[in-house]
Structure 1
């Protein structure tokens, strides 16, 4: 299969073609030639789009689709199609399903269902059996089947010795352990950030202490055991400080932040809109400022949409009874670009994280496998519900301004391109 991309501005700070408008010829899934005004003798498809830009393929380190068990929220097939339309060539899928991904067979089944799609699925296996936090799951077997990390989604490992054992055991095969940062006893039955707004609204709060206490413990265990630890979706200013100090000690720790926690604060909760009920909760302006600074300084290693589809029966209900979570993969590029106002920085954020999960990165160079995201940074618009391709529509970004648009992806000899 021969595919020709015409007049695309390449955004890749490590490429000699950075910010140059070039043609790219892809043959059988590999970049055969990059040049000006290419005129190959034969092509099966020509891609020529308004204000076309390309970068290395984007990666999201935390998405959920529901299948198996919660297909009414999202299937693997439609979820990966949504990711492709949104510019992501790879996504790490959490084990937050009815049938928990906690053994070799479950990982194999997920990969089998995802095999035909353009966006590549990278399974995250549960850290503990059935994600119950009592005993370790079959980590090595899942790694052999294709799992890229291990963690219980939004479920903290409250047993300190269990986390110690996980970090020690995973070192034998270079496994990446994830630990969700929340002390359940401190968080209690909290629904939103604990501060003035929670008091005004009469809603139970989750103090930043719950996150910070857990991170402090996890880092102490990591310092003792060694190993590789990833802390997903931090949300407080002090969390940034704690991780910055840990990195100064050369601890092998990384962390991520959810895009909505960068942009929105708990001021959004005044009308009890359940789309804004997320975990970790939306915090304060002080926190969002510290998170953004942490990104700029490299303390926070990656951003994620933390995409979590929730069907209407579990979201459009009283605030107390609604499930936590928002979808966000479709707005990830536009929301980040609107926030940063810096295309190079936005693309650097969207392309980070693969190496931490042991995923090979493809270069924009002749001879490399095609792994490209296609987009335009032009323009600003209000995001609407009608634009959502996901099965669930629980987006916190509805009626928010976002910038640019995504055209799709090319991954190997497959593509998903909106023309």
Structure 2
């Protein structure tokens, strides 16, 4: 690839180029020059309206379906969707059939993505078959390319298993992902427990279901040491618990889903199952606490928590519909409606530091070009025409969005919309 990105504003807070308009020359997939004026002779030139660029974004929680649920999404189309949505890296959840709980399946999903612009990073299951009874083959999966280990949307009920897992993974410097939800407290709840659930007659899920497990997991981390990532927190108390743990010096990180930052349970008035997610969309009090957690650094990264579901599992009675929304395509545009641009970029790149131990801003000469291209300006309404996923279960249909993603440069490939 010999390409000149012409007249782009760089958003990279840790570099001298931050908020400056420059041109970037890419030769053989590597950054060769960054300057205000670069001769374009003999090179392909890329110019786009109001072009901004940043270090490539990473989504820390993406489900695709393949193997086993190809009717929901394939790896090939899912990776193309991620690229068109601005993500150079996605962490793939193990909730497939069969479950990604061994090195063979880790190798399988990685090999399916070898020629794509977006880099696929498998998350291996924490327990065999995600059943919470026996540890999966984590060391072998790490050697095959797994970046972390967790059971998707399944809380580790057995405290001793989590304790052993945190101790064991320290031997090979791995991160454990521990979703927090007490099934006995959640019961048959389907939405946030509060005024809206009472008015609509829907069974509620109290924030306590998340917080009591989170508190236990943080106690275990303090006892064992190791690295723990808490995905998709949703309550004010969860933010304060993680803030306290970080102040103690524990190696804990966390994420929040885009829909938790943008939506509130008021959207449930029409009983639309697109808004049925896990954890549930909560009220304005918790949304504001999550925003504060993002702004003060307690929440490390933001995820789309992309989960494609076919219409047979989503367009049905609210109590019976499966939890989940797609979110790759809408992540950037919806986040800009509630957060400043620099914060959005920081939180969309931070997962690389957590899971790959690489800097959040990587614009260095002779380094591989890993770049997201976008504009933060302009407004639009998100419609089905903006969805590239096979599944269409988006919680953001008809929502106002700001900005636009143009595509990515990664792995020596330019992928534009």
User: TM-score, length-normalised on structure 2?
Assistant: 0.98
Per-residue deviation at 1:74?
A: 0.5
Is residue 346 of structure 1 aligned with residue 344 of structure 2?
A: yes
**1:260 to 2:259 alignment:** yes
User: Is the Cα–Cα contact under 8 Å of residues 118 and 411 in structure 2 kept in the other structure?
Assistant: no
1:357 aligns with 2:375: no
Q: Match of 1:9, SS?
A: strand
Aligned to 2:245: 246
* Paired position in structure 2 for 1:39: 39
Once the two structures are superposed, the pairs formed by residues 322-341 of structure 1 within 5 Å of their partners are 322-340=321-339
Query: Pairwise mapping of residues 92-131 of structure 1 onto structure 2 (< 5 A)?
Result: 92-131=91-130
Following superposition of structure 1 onto structure 2, how do residues 260-279 of structure 1 map, counting pairs within 5 Å?
260-279=259-278
SS in 2 for 1:7: strand
Question: How do 1:269-418 residues align onto structure 2 when only pairs under 5 Å count?
Answer: 269-340=268-339, 342-361=340-359, 363-418=362-417
Compute the displacement of 1:369 (Å): 1.1
Contact 1:28–1:412 (8 Å) recurs in 2: no
In 2, Cα distance between equivalents of 1:382 and 1:296 = 26
Distance 1:145 1:222 in 2: 26
Q: Aligned partners of 1:207, 1:407: CA distance in 2, in Å?
A: 40
Distance 1:231 1:411 in 2: 28
Q: 1:351 to 1:400 in 2, by over 3 A?
A: same
Q: What residue number does 1:148 align with?
A: 147
Matches within 5 A, 1:169-180: 169-180=168-179
Q: Report the Cα offset of residue 358 of structure 1.
A: 2.3
**Residue 60 of structure 1 aligns with which residue?**
59
| Displacement of 1:263 | 1.1
| Alignment partner of 1:25 is 2:25 | yes
Query: Within 1, Cα distance between the matches of 2:293 and 2:41?
Result: 49
Aligned 8 A contact 2:190 2:203 in 1: yes
Relative to structure 2, which stretch is displaced further, 350-359 or 81-90? 350-359
The size of the alignment, in residue pairs, is: 416
Residues 253-299 of structure 1, C-alpha deviation per residue, up to 9 Å, x if partnerless?
Answer: 11110010111111111110000000000111110010000111111
Aligned partner of 2:159 in structure 1 is: 160
Question: Are the counterparts in 2 of residues 77 and 114 from structure 1 also a CA contact under 8 Å?
Answer: yes
- Please identify runs of 4+ aligned residues in structure 1 that moved more than 6 A: none
Q: SS at the partner of 1:97?
A: coil
Q: CA–CA distance in 2 between the matches of 1:309 and 1:11?
A: 30
1:155 and 1:183 map into 2 onto residues whose CA distance is 9
Task: Say which SS state the counterpart of residue 200 (structure 1) adopts.
Answer: helix
Kindly state the Cα deviation for residue 398 of structure 1 after the two structures are TM-superposed: 0.5
Q: Which residue of 1 aligns with 2:7?
A: 7
Q: Name the CA distance, whole Å, in 2 between partners of 1:350 and 1:211.
A: 24
Q: Distance in 2 between matches of 1:400 and 1:226?
A: 42
In structure 2, C-alpha distance between the alignment counterparts of 1:359 and 1:144, rounded to whole Å: 16
- Identify the residue that residue 193 of structure 1 maps to in structure 2: 192
- Structure 1: give runs of 5+ residues left out of the alignment: none
User: Which 10-residue stretch deviates more, 244-253 or 121-130?
Assistant: 244-253
The separation in 1 between residues aligned to 2:266 and 2:80, in whole angstroms, is 33
Separation in 2, partners of 1:175, 1:348: 23
Deviation at 1:417, TM superposition (A): 1.5
Offset, 1:12: 0.7
In structure 2, C-alpha distance between the alignment counterparts of 1:36 and 1:223, rounded to whole Å: 49
| Cα RMSD, aligned residues only | 1.0
Deviations 1:115-145 (A, max 9, x none): 1111000000000000011100000000000
Asked whether the equivalents of residues 234 and 257 of structure 1 are also in contact (C-alpha less than 8 Å), the reply is: yes
Question: Which digits, 9 at most, give the CA deviation of each residue in 1:210-259, with x for residues without a partner?
Answer: 00000011011111111100000000001111111111111111111001
1:21 and 1:401 map into 2 onto residues whose CA distance is 28
Tell me, in whole angstroms, the C-alpha distance in 2 between the residues paired with 1:266 and 1:344. 27
Q: Which is worse superposed, 234-243 or 197-206? A: 197-206
